[in-house]
Amino acid sequence: MVDLTDIRAVTADLPRSYEVVVRDQIKYRVGQMVYLALSRDEQTIGIAFPKEERAAALAAEPDKFFPPLPRDERFRWIQVRLAALEYDELRELILDAWAMVVPKKVQREYFGES
């Protein structure tokens, strides 16, 4: 199982990423775009996720993923149970979410692409 310490370790060196607390909830942003939000009980996260891949992820791994709140279904977002994740998978989800909101140039520089 992963926790806030692991989330902070992954996000620590992501360019333009920063942590904020909004209404007692920890969120990670690039600019004003939220790409990860930790639940108040720190058991789940909401994370940026390709909308077109959401249904497949929900069907394939219902013990890990669950749908966003109805008001958030229009966004590229999915909910994840932290107890179902290992560190490497958490890292992959966070990097993918961050890449969805950061400028392409910053993304290419971080991943070492030309």
Which residue ranges make up each domain of the chain? 4-101
Predicted structure pTM score: 0.95
| Residue 12: partners with Cβ closer than 8 Å, 6 or more residues away | none
Alpha-helical runs (H) found in the chain: 4-11, 51-60, 87-101, 104-111
Question: Which of the listed CATH numbers 1.10.357.140, 3.90.1150.30, 3.40.50.920, 3.10.180.10 matches domain 4-101?
Answer: 3.90.1150.30
DSSP string, 23-58: TTEEEEEETTEEEEEE-TTSSEEEEE--HHHHHHHH
pLDDT tens-place string over residues 56-110 = 999 999 999 999 999 888 999 999 999 999 999 999 999 999 999 999 999 999 9
pLDDT tens-place string over residues 18-55 = 999 999 999 999 999 999 999 999 999 999 999 999 99
